[in-house]
Amino acid sequence: MRFKPLLLWLSSGVLTGSAIIFPPLWFLVGPGLLLQLYLLRGGNFPLLGPTIAGTVHMAFSLLWLFGVVDISWLGFTSPIILGFVVVGVWVTSSFTAGLGYGVVLWSLRYIVGQHWLLYTLFPLALLGGELLGSFFLSVYSWSADSPLGVMFGFGYVGYTLVEHTTFRYAAIFGGVYALSIVWGTIVSCLYGLAQKIKDTKGVRSAIVFIVCLYVLFYASSFLPFLLRKEVFPSDIFVTSTNFSMSTYADTDRWNIAQEAYMAMVREVSLRSGKVVILPEDTRFLLQHTRDQLEAQLDTNALSQLEIIDTGRDEYEGQTVLRAMVYDPVLQKIFEYDKQYLVPFGEQIPVLPGLLMQRVGLGYQLQTLKSYYGYHPGITRAQANVPKFIPPVLFCYESIVPYMVHALMRTSDTTYVAHVVSHAWFSDQYGFLKNQLYQMLRVQALWNNVYIYQAANEAPAAVFTPNGNGYIAPALAPEELWKVYSIEDVVFGG
């Protein structure tokens, strides 16, 4: 069949894409990449094929976009129209990233042909394709308030290697970038060995040998490893809440939420906590002065409690998403603003916006813009606060592969506070959470730092320098909030 190679390229994207969104299937990355290397060396559709594989791979990674289809407050008169928009964004975003991947693999094949350099350089081409795909995605998602770069971490196959108890430690040398190169190196070595065995003992022997070797590699992921010692403090508390987006539009619900936030802080103070991390957009410190806090809390407890909070604020005529850290020693609130805004969640990209106008969805576009008018607060960067103040990793900034690395360059703390909210969409199957958790595990491992997650409509969590992730029990539907010490999360207390 003439088009059989295209079906194989597509199948390779299905294999690697499945591994991205279902962590237990992480080992499918190997066969997927082996198939791509085989097809690339054979010259089978060297540009179209890798582009299809990359597009399908990213389509899996971006399946979480469909979690916004059932949102009623976006202003769309019909879920069919909203579904049409989501499908359009999903397809075009996947193709944009897939094209970047395809261009790099095609360039490698064009330059070296069938030479052994093809599989020798494949690890670098794999990472280069992911980087160019990320850059293309930033061009597609560009707006006046979003930079161009390689900040989109979706689709990097290196994240799946964090599931391997030994090979994950390559992240120490370069995070997900190092892990992607390791994946490419494993595949290149297997392919090179297969070529040698095929030339001497035949195709069947080569296949049997490679399958056995790969099974051994997979089995080694269950071997114990000498882990670095991990310390879980009992005086740092993370919180989880269960408030929908309608909370912010209803006065009574908003008041209930604020009472819950105060109750959480009070609970931590009664348990002699030193730090409490509140979920994203709590706005607790925006709502209460120090006098009000003293009226609600024991003065001595407040003098020892560091409060990490986030919320929306107005600054120089613009709406920004702000982190606020109350330091009990200096009795001062330090502030810094979110820099990477969520496309379609906090800012509207130019190109997709133009496409919406062209297909007659101008009204829906203006509705989205009325909800999402945020700006990065570049005048209050985290680098401008004292080094002993813990950095805050905002919701969605976890997808930036180098974000924690950048934060820790200006911090002397041993942990990062990660604040998130999943109230703005549905992630029923965990397509997004699974990827975010792997991203956080890799970033914690790379930077030898703990990441403590406080979340709304998502579990509290701890991610450790060994690349482990501990997820606290999810809220029951009838419960609005919970408080966990870090030990509670890790040891299930």
The amino acid occupying position 141 is S
359 within domain boundaries: no
- Percent of all residues in the chain with a pLDDT value above 90, rounded to a whole number: 51
One domain for residues 174 and 310: no
Provide the pLDDT confidence category of residue 338 given band limits of 50, 70 and 90. Answer: confident
User: Does residue 27 form part of some domain?
Assistant: yes
204 and 252 part of one domain: no
CB 348 within 8 A of CB 368: yes
Q: How many domains does the chain have?
A: 2
Q: Which tens digits make up the pLDDT trace of 361-396?
A: 677 677 666 666 677 776 566 777 888 999 999 988
- Calpha distance 477→85 (Å, rounded): 30
Q: Is residue 350 part of a domain?
A: no
The answer to the question of residue 102 being in a domain is: yes
pLDDT level of residue 423 (50, 70, 90 thresholds) = confident
Q: What's the average model confidence in pLDDT over 140-157?
A: 88
Lowest mean pLDDT segment, chosen from 60-64, 85-89, 424-428, 452-456: 424-428
250 and 149 belong to one structural domain: no
Query: Is pLDDT at 76 greater than 60 in this prediction?
Result: no
272 and 170 in a common domain: no
Average per-residue pLDDT in the chain? 87
**Do 249 and 190 lie in a common domain?**
no
pLDDT tens-digit profile of 243-290?
887 777 778 888 888 889 999 999 998 888 999 999 998 888 888 777
Residue 482 confidence (pLDDT) above 90:
yes
Same domain, 31 and 133: yes
197 & 307 share domain: no
Residues 121 and 146 in one domain: yes
Distance, in Å, from the CA atom of 469 to the CA atom of 433, rounded to the nearest integer, reads: 12
Q: How confident is the model at residue 71 (pLDDT cuts 50, 70, 90)?
A: low
Tell whether 230 is covered by a domain.
no
How far apart are the C-alpha atoms of 483 and 459, rounded to whole Å?
11
Domain that holds residue 56: 4-222
Of 198, 222, 246, the residue at which a domain comes to its end is 222
Question: Is residue 69's pLDDT more than 70?
Answer: no
pLDDT over 90 (residue 40): yes
Residue 346 lies in a domain: no
Pair of tokens at residue 160 = 């799946």
Domain boundary among the residues 188, 222, 256 is at: 222
82 and 164 part of one domain: yes
Same domain membership, residue 241 and residue 137: no
Q: What is the CATH number of the domain that holds 327?
A: 3.60.110.10
206 and 240 belong to one structural domain: no
User: Of 199, 222, 245, which residue sits at a domain end?
Assistant: 222
380 part of a folded domain: yes
pLDDT of residue 427: 78
Examine the domain organization and report whether 320 and 208 are in the same domain: no
CA distances (Å), 326 to each of 96, 289, 420, 456, 491, in order?
42, 11, 19, 20, 28
Q: In this model, does residue 325 exceed pLDDT 60? A: yes
pTM value is 0.92
Asked whether the predicted pLDDT for residue 82 surpasses 80, the reply is no
In this structure, how many other beta carbons lie within 10 angstroms of the beta carbon of residue 425?
A: 18
pLDDT score for 382: 73
What number is the average pLDDT over the span 303-332? 85
**Average pLDDT for residues 451-457, to the nearest whole number?**
94
Give domain status of residue 117, yes or no: yes
CB 427 within 8 A of CB 396: no
**Buried b or exposed e, range 21-39, using 16+ CB within 10 angstroms:** bbbebbbbbbbbbbbbbbb
Three-state secondary-structure class, residue 82: helix
